[in-house]
Structure 1
Amino acid sequence: MVSTAQDTAISTPKGPNPNKAVFGGKNALGKNHQQSILNVLRMACADALKQPDFVLRLQEIKRRFYERDFDGIFLESANLPVYTAQYVPRRALCYYEVFTSPEMQKILHSHPQIYCLGAGSGSELVGISAACCNALSGPDMHIKANPIIVHSQDYTNWEPILDSLASAIRYKWNLSNEHIEYKFSIGDLLHISSDIEQQISSADLVTAMFVFNELFADKANAMNFVKTIVKFLRPGAHFLLVDSAGSFSRIKVGNKNYMSYMFFDSLTQVFEPIVSDNFRWFRHAAGLDYPLSIENMRYFIRLYRRK
């Protein structure tokens, strides 16, 4: 559970599934890991998918995306369940792939505190939780240890959505509070508060996944975000940057265009690159069962360690 919020439009079972055995590590995901992730989302988004105005509301969300009117999407609470049902599946599948890489599994094995920026819709929560099933497998999977903490941050209240996703995860995969703990807080990355600074400084891993480019609607505040990561990420901690590999990531400064990751790449005295790839495709498996179409994704990835 992320919270005790009751006024959510999505109803899911609370807690682990009493008909299942104890947590089974990577076996919790079954034979088809991608389908297992979609089954969690189908459960969590069941009420949203049945809304009579789902298609009309989704069309309005797409229109506002085209106009880059993000507040018009995310400050309307009725849009949030529809957004999650439509857009989270492909990203959750992609993020699962990212977090099952050897470099990310090594971090998860250390039972880190993860601070996920701009992560209210739940893609990180679902993808990381699925990857944790892999990381918590093996001979020491039942040894008592501090739980992995996934702290989702966003600028509007996604708590009911995250609560529903967390409940579905615990029910489907039998992940308990001993394995993983979920937190959520509200904060604005364009006007960074002392709480955001404190969360960055205490995290073992900070993620910015498909959020950094959106900050460049205000270049001055976007650069302040870069400065904040540099200043408050502690030595030895990691910063994961993932975003579109297309033109959306090109930022114009003066008369030149730069890919957004170049702002962090240039800070060689601060960051050690662990993973650096300018172009990746995530292609989902064929034959997956979900009520809505799922698109493939093209993205870049950077994993830095703070020196």
Structure 2
Amino acid sequence: MPRLRGTQSAGSAKNSKLAAHKPPNLKGPKPQPIGGANKKTRAAAADTQSSLDQQKALSHNLQQDLLAVFARALAPALASPRLDEALQAVKHALFERDFSAAFGTVNDTREDGAGEFDELKGKHVSFQIDNAIPPLDAYAARWSPTRALCYASVLASPVVQKQWSTLSQEENTPLRMVAIGGGAAELVAFGALLTGSEAGRDRNGDLLLVDSGPWGSVVDRLRTCMVGSDAGGGKPALVQSERFDVNVLQQDILTVADEEMSKLIGGGNAAGPTNTLVSLFFTLNELFTAGGLGAAATFLLRLTAASPPGTVLLVVDSPGSYAEMAVGSQARKYPMRWLLDKFLLQDAEGWTKVHEDEAIWFRLSPSLSYPIRLEDMRYQVHLYVRK
């Protein structure tokens, strides 16, 4: 199978939701160069040239423009002296796999004027309301930019576009994406596809973000910065507003009824072929954790039943040991990719697997800039097409 642009990495991932990232360096008010912490490692790596080839999916200028979108939309969080504190709370919750706490909201209803995060596995972090940073703002400011560039490179890659955009081009229909567990990173990545990729540059886009977290405010600000005239420096909008249709559904996908699931995935076209891509970007592990193996398996089977022929399913998640699931009384661990293939290819028998890669590095150019330091990330990817 052809590989997505990227490099295969040796070694195992840390057992952490943040295994794809290193801790942030928040010192200094000036924009930080990106990737500097990895220079020695990258210089010694044999796969350096391949990692540079990956960046061809998005131009350097477009990558910088996308980072600028995050910097403008989330400027208050990035400039807050409490950002480090908020990030530590989010990181703690993610490390404990307490996803509802990590992606919750700041409680700003107390009469004494103080807002606070919920308790995060014994750790309590409080803020004054005028300086409070909602967890999703902090998360989006710190971890979503790298993921957005990574996701955009995956979506724009030839192996994905070959499966996704052919029908859209023939029927002149919008590219449609249903991002399960999607938020800031998926929004900007999809906008980048409409802006900078050969397949999406002349297409309209229809994006549906489905997540239990309250992403509406963050998504609205990011989209405004992408389609508005406030690009900065006299730059035009990255995407024309009429070409970029975005809807946010705050709902736990595990609780969605079968009929509604069919409408979400099929988009009203359940009887015939579809041009829909369903994404599970760093979400499947969360579903296994939150609902258990049985609920996640049932979701995948229900997703299969709801997906019309031609639906593309794209899974991106942490590689290595963190993507192992404990099953049974003996807590035997199975790789997520093995479970995916079992449920989708063997049990459901409704999909064809057209691509997989167990470990890829997405590397950021050191010449890119952002108000705080960002790092490279590592991921696995699996691509299926509904029969």
TM-score bracket for this pair, using the shorter chain length? 0.7 to 0.9
1: CA distance, partners of 2:333 / 2:254: 22
Q: Which amino acid aligns with 2:192?
A: A
C-alpha offsets along residues 128-178 of structure 1, whole Å, 9 cap, x if unaligned? Answer: 21122134679x93xxx6x21011111022111000010111134441233
- Contact 2:356/2:382, CA 8 A, preserved across alignment: yes
The CA deviation string for residues 71-119 of structure 1, in whole angstroms up to 9 with x for no partner, is: 2222224211111101101101111110120133342462322110011
1:50-69 superposed matches below 5 A: 50-69=79-98
Q: Which residue of 2 aligns with 1:274?
A: 354
1:98 equivalenced with 2:162 (yes/no) = no
Aligned to 2:139: 83
Query: Matches of 1:272 and 1:112 in 2, distance apart?
Result: 21
Aligned residue type for 2:359: F
Q: 2:101 matched to 1:72?
A: yes
Kindly indicate whether residue 199 of structure 2 is the aligned counterpart of residue 123 of structure 1: no
Q: For 1:254-269, list aligned pairs within 5 A.
A: 254=328, 255=330, 256-266=332-342, 267-268=344-345, 269=349
Deviations 1:237-270 (A, max 9, x none): 1111110112111112235422112233233331
Q: How does 1:78-227 map to 2 (within 5 A)?
A: 78-106=134-162, 107-108=164-165, 110=168, 111-120=174-183, 122-135=184-197, 141=202, 147-171=204-228, 172=231, 173-193=237-257, 194-202=259-267, 204-217=276-289, 218-227=292-301
Query: Aligned ranges for residues 225-240 of structure 1 at < 5 Å?
Result: 225-240=299-314
- What's the TM-score, normalizing by structure 2? 0.66
Q: Secondary structure at the match of 1:190?
A: helix
The share of aligned pairs that are identical, in percent, is 32
Q: Which amino acid aligns with 2:186?
A: E
RMSD: 2.2
1:42 to 58, 63, 71: 71
Could you say what secondary structure the match of 2:278 adopts? strand
Could you say which structure has the greater relative contact order, defined with CA pairs below 8 angstroms and 6 or more residues apart? Answer: 2
* Alpha-carbon shift at residue 287 of structure 1 (Å): 2.1
Instruction: Specify the code of the residue in structure 1 equivalent to 2:381.
Output: I
* Paired residue secondary structure (1:304): strand
Contact 2:362-2:376 within 8 A present in 1 as well: yes
The amino acid across from 2:244 in the alignment is I
TM-score normalised over the length of structure 1:
0.82
Structure 1's unaligned 5+ residue stretches are 1-28
Q: Distance in 2 between matches of 1:181 and 1:65?
A: 30
1:283 corresponds in structure 2 to: 363
Structure 2 residue ranges without an equivalent (≥5): 1-57, 107-133, 169-173, 232-236, 268-273
CA positional deviation for 1:47: 1.5
Deviation at 1:213, TM superposition (A): 0.5
Distance in 2, Cα, partners of 1:113 & 1:95: 15
CA distance in 1, matches of 2:365, 2:90: 27
Q: How far apart are the structure 2 equivalents of 1:262 and 1:306?
A: 18
Shift of 1:30: 6.9
Q: Does 1:297 align with 2:362?
A: no
Counterpart amino acid of 1:79?
Answer: P
Aligned residues: 273
Q: Residue 319 of structure 2 aligns to which amino acid in structure 1?
A: A
CA contact (8 A) 1:90 1:295 kept: yes
SS at match of 2:68: helix
Shift of 1:300: 1.0
2-structure distance, mates of 1:291, 1:58: 15
Change (3 A) 1:137 1:71: closer
- Indicate the larger mover: 160-169 or 225-234: 225-234
Contact 2:161 2:199 in 1 (8 A): no
Match of 1:286, SS?
A: coil
Query: Are residues 68 and 174 of structure 1, via their aligned partners in 2, closer, same or farther at CA, if it must alter by over 3 Å?
Result: closer
Structure 1 segments (4+ residues) deviating >6 Å: none
